[in-house]
């Protein structure tokens, strides 16, 4: 085999190719690693700053550059200040209440609606479905003034319900769940119908348990949006006792002459770490939930 | 049960079943109408009045629209700011996100997971937290960015947050950090959905890697490109947290240099004069701008793939 000159040449070519491939790969990795470091750096700075006294946050070169000895000044004082002076635990529990109840409501309301679109026939079905699809494109933020007026008329300003209820109107949620439901085997529903199960029972007892991956994806998408929302809470919440974390941060930043950056960094770290932890635990579901549409 | 029912109650039951679908869609449709549709109609109505705070005001025709557009250049300036930001964000994020995804797709699976995660993490962090962190990183004397530029012997006395010509640029930079990894994940998912057999055939035909990239990969990535471009343009035009929080004292940068469209509406409705009618008119104008851009993008990129 090796005597064949043509084959030898091909092997040479392959060898050259693999060399340049190795170089390519090296450059590729280098770019990626630098990129990953740039992504991580501000977060690492936030983590470091959250544990330092205010005076050390703004030192250049950063105190941490001094090495291990710089950790001597680490303390939980800034968390203490955030909790005792700025009621950050209240804000944390408000954020959690809003996100949990809103996800629960979204899942129920959207799955009921998607269920009807997937399995039932009724006059106006297409019209309603197209209407829902169209809302996905509407930039709702532009209507923030009349939106606020609607919430106010309903007496939902300065009320966590004024955040939770509107979040559940997720057109994307209905669309996504319907796509999932129509792929489930129809025979299951036919069998349940023959057994005399009502629609509600089919929805709750058969479809929802079978759709856990889709429901989890919707919950994840809603979690990211709601946890990081800033505009709705700043519009609706006036009372400090109701503030969610982003509004708490905004208030901490704007009420003081000496901005309490130590407490802000501690609160910022709490705010950032919760979604990051969820992401690291459920990475696959996170990515698949977000990108489900693009793949198909 | 079925045996005991009379014809009369059977009739009622069947009538009820014919309404059943509407009971299922009613909760969602009610919320959608109240919180998504009604504000548009109501907004149109109050934009034609001089409503202020809780005073409903009187009908004044299109005066608000004329005032928004022509009384001063504040609105036009915020349109320009929004466009500068949106174009800057798209032009920087989308190509880099695509390249990152492409490179990431061609490396071993073990590293792919870790790298993908670290690129993705910024988009999970609240915009307020990001703004507050970057405000400090961009500090003139005690900011890490200037310190690092000094290490590289580059000019390191730039007053990033105090220079009006840099306000939009800084927001583009921060949003680049925040969103590139997010877009990358969509490109990566799309890349992984391409059938490897297509590449095998191209290889057998002797197509060069660059030609494969341009003539096979990029066209097959159209769903991801369409989705990312449309959603990130809409998102960029609705920006709110960075202009308000990145600059000290909530001033939208020196001389309002970073005041984009949504902050403009927010200011007139909730911070300055509580001019609800005026701000609604501005909202309708912004709505029209965003819709025109979305429709143009969809037409240009192909509608069929846009509904994901």
- Nearest CA to A113 among A23, A175, A182, A196? A175
Q: Chain A partners of B42 at a C-beta cutoff of 8 Å?
A: 146, 149-150
The answer to whether the beta carbons of residues B277 and B48 sit under 8 Å apart is yes
- Nearest CA of chain A to the CA of B144: how many Å? 7
Q: What percent of chain B has pLDDT over 90?
A: 62
pLDDT at A16: 58
- Nearest CA of chain A to the CA of B141: how many Å? 8
- The chain B residue lying nearest A198, using CA atoms, is B17
The residues that bridge with B49 in the sheet, in sequence order, are: B59
Q: Chain B partners of A35 at a C-beta cutoff of 8 Å?
A: 100, 115, 119
Query: Rounded mean pLDDT of chain A?
Result: 88
Measure Cα distances from A52 to A89, A153, A178, A232, A263 in Å: 20, 46, 49, 32, 10
Instruction: Answer whether A58 sits within 8 Å of B116, measured CB to CB.
Output: no
DSSP structure class, residue A41 = H
Residue from the list A250, A279, A295 with its beta carbon closest to the beta carbon of B190:
A295
Q: Chain A partners of B273 at a C-beta cutoff of 8 Å?
A: none
DSSP structure class, residue A287 = H
Size of interface A-B (CB pairs under 8 A): 275
Q: Chain B partners of A166 at a C-beta cutoff of 8 Å?
A: 31, 35
More confident residue, A28 or B117: B117
Q: Tell me if residue A253 falls in helix, strand or coil.
A: helix
Q: Chain B partners of A150 at a C-beta cutoff of 8 Å?
A: 34-35, 38-39, 42
Tens digits of per-residue pLDDT, A132-167? Answer: 988 888 888 889 999 999 999 999 999 999 999 999
DSSP structure class, residue A36 = H
Q: Chain B partners of A31 at a C-beta cutoff of 8 Å?
A: 103
More confident residue, A166 or B142: A166
Q: Chain A partners of B136 at a C-beta cutoff of 8 Å?
A: 49, 57-58, 261
- Nearest CA of chain B to the CA of A57: how many Å? 9
pLDDT at A188: 85
Q: Tell me if residue B59 falls in helix, strand or coil.
A: strand
More confident residue, B8 or B136: B136
Angle between helical axes of A283-295 and B167-192 (0-180°, round to 10):
80
The residues that bridge with B59 in the sheet, in sequence order, are: B49
Residue from the list B127, B265, B284 with its beta carbon closest to the beta carbon of A230:
B127
On the question of pLDDT at B308 being above 60, the answer is: no
> Average pLDDT in the A75-80 region?
94
Residue from the list A120, A131, A294 with its beta carbon closest to the beta carbon of B20:
A120
pLDDT at A2: 45
Q: Which two tokens stand for residue B148?
A: 């690092």
Residue from the list B29, B119, B128 with its beta carbon closest to the beta carbon of A128:
B29
Instruction: Answer whether B284 sits within 8 Å of A142, measured CB to CB.
Output: yes
User: Does B253 contact A at CB distance below 8 Å?
Assistant: no
Residue from the list A108, A143, A227 with its beta carbon closest to the beta carbon of B40:
A143
User: Does B307 contact A at CB distance below 8 Å?
Assistant: yes
Which of B2-6, B37-41, B276-280 shows the lowest mean pLDDT across its residues?
Answer: B2-6
ipTM exceeding 0.90, yes/no: no
Residue from the list B32, B238, B280 with its beta carbon closest to the beta carbon of A141:
B238
Band of residue A102 on the pLDDT scale cut at 50, 70, 90: very high
The answer to whether the beta carbons of residues A28 and B103 sit under 8 Å apart is yes
Q: Chain B partners of A275 at a C-beta cutoff of 8 Å?
A: 124-125
pLDDT at B304: 47
Tens digits of per-residue pLDDT, A206-225? Answer: 999 999 989 999 999 899 99
pLDDT at B8: 45
Query: Rounded mean pLDDT of chain B?
Result: 88
Tens digits of per-residue pLDDT, B166-190? Answer: 999 999 999 999 999 999 999 999 9
Q: Chain B partners of A218 at a C-beta cutoff of 8 Å?
A: none
Q: Chain B partners of A283 at a C-beta cutoff of 8 Å?
A: 113, 117
Tens digits of per-residue pLDDT, A255-285? Answer: 767 889 999 999 999 999 999 999 999 888 8
- Nearest CA of chain A to the CA of B29: how many Å? 8
Instruction: Answer whether B34 sits within 8 Å of A150, measured CB to CB.
Output: yes
Which DSSP string corresponds to A87-108? -HHHHHHHHHHHHHHHHHHHHH
pLDDT at B287: 94
Residue appearing with tokens 């009604």: B38
On the question of pLDDT at B77 being above 90, the answer is: yes
Residue from the list B121, B128, B186 with its beta carbon closest to the beta carbon of A291:
B186
- Nearest CA of chain A to the CA of B43: how many Å? 5
On the question of pLDDT at B11 being above 90, the answer is: no
pLDDT at B57: 86
Q: Chain B partners of A117 at a C-beta cutoff of 8 Å?
A: 25
Residue from the list A42, A174, A279 with its beta carbon closest to the beta carbon of B137:
A42
Q: Chain A partners of B148 at a C-beta cutoff of 8 Å?
A: none
Instruction: Answer whether A142 sits within 8 Å of B130, measured CB to CB.
Output: no
Q: How far apart are CA A12 and CA A20, in angstroms?
A: 12
Band of residue A100 on the pLDDT scale cut at 50, 70, 90: very high
Q: Any alpha helices (H) in chain A, and if so which ranges?
A: 5-50, 54-57, 77-86, 88-119, 125-137, 144-153, 161-167, 171-181, 186-194, 199-201, 208-210, 212-227, 231-236, 245-255, 261-281, 283-295
Band of residue A11 on the pLDDT scale cut at 50, 70, 90: low
On the question of pLDDT at B257 being above 50, the answer is: yes
Band of residue B14 on the pLDDT scale cut at 50, 70, 90: low
Provide the chain B residues 72-131 that lie in CB contact (below 8 A) with chain A. 100, 103-104, 106-107, 111, 113-130
- Nearest CA of chain B to the CA of A223: how many Å? 10
């Amino acid at each position: 085999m090796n005597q064949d000159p043509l084959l030898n040449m091909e092997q040479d070519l392959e060898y050259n190719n693999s060399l340049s491939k190795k170089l390519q790969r090296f450059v590729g990795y280098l770019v990626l690693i630098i990129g990953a470091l740039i992504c991580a750096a501000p977060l690492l700075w936030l983590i470091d700053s959250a544990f330092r006294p205010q005076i050390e946050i703004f030192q250049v070169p950063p105190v941490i550059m001094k090495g291990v000895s710089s950790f001597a000044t680490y303390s939980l004082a800034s968390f203490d200040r955030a909790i005792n002076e700025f009621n950050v635990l209240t804000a944390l529990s408000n954020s959690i209440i809003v996100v949990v109840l809103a996800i629960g409501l979204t899942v129920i309301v959207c799955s009921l609606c998607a269920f009807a679109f997937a399995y039932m026939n009724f006059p106006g079905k297409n019209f309603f479905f197209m209407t829902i699809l169209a809302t996905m494109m509407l930039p709702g933020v532009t209507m923030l003034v009349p939106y606020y007026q609607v919430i106010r008329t309903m007496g939902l300003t300065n009320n966590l319900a004024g955040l939770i209820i509107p979040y559940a109107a997720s057109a994307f949620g209905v669309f996504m769940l319907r796509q999932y439901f129509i792929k489930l085997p129809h025979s299951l529903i036919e069998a349940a119908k023959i057994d005399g199960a009502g629609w509600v029972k089919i929805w709750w007892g058969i479809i929802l348990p079978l759709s856990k991956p889709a429901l989890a994806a919707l919950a994840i998408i809603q979690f990211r949006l709601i946890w990081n929302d800033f505009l709705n809470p700043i519009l609706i919440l006036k009372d400090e006792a109701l503030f969610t974390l982003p509004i708490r941060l905004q208030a901490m930043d704007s009420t003081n002459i000496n901005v309490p950056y130590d407490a802000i960094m501690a609160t910022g770290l709490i705010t950032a770490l919760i979604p990051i932890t969820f992401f690291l635990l459920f990475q696959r579901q996170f990515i698949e939930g977000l990108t489900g549409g693009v793949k198909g | 049960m079925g045996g005991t029912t009379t014809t009369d109650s059977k009739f009622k039951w069947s009538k009820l079943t014919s309404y059943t679908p509407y009971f299922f869609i009613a909760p969602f449709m009610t919320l959608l109408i109240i919180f998504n549709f009604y504000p548009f109609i109501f907004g149109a109505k109050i934009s034609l009045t001089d409503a202020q705070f809780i005073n409903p005001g009187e009908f004044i025709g299109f005066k608000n629209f004329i005032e928004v557009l022509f009384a001063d250049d504040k609105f036009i300036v915020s349109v320009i700011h929004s466009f500068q930001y949106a174009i800057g964000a798209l032009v920087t994020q989308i190509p880099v996100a695509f390249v990152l995804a492409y490179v990431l797709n061609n490396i071993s699976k073990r590293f792919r997971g870790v790298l993908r995660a670290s690129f993705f993490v910024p988009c999970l962090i609240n915009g307020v937290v990001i703004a507050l962190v970057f405000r400090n990183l961009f500090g003139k004397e005690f900011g890490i960015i200037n310190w690092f530029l000094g290490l590289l012997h580059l000019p390191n006395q730039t007053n990033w947050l105090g220079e009006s010509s840099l306000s939009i640029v800084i927001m583009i930079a921060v949003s680049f950090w925040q969103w590139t990894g997010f877009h990358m994940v969509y490109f990566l998912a799309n890349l992984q959905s391409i059938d490897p057999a297509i590449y095998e055939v191209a290889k057998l035909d002797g197509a060069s890697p660059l030609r494969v990239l341009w003539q096979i990969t990029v066209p097959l990535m159209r769903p991801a490109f369409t989705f990312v471009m449309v959603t990130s343009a809409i998102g960029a035009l609705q920006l709110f947290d960075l202009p308000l929080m990145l600059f000290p004292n909530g001033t939208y940068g020196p001389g309002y240099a970073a005041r984009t469209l949504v902050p403009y509406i927010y200011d007139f409705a909730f911070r300055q004069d509580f001019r609800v009618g005026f701000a609604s008119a501005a909202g309708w104008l912004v709505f029209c701008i965003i819709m025109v851009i979305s429709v143009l993008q969809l037409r240009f990129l192909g509608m069929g793939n846009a509904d994901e």
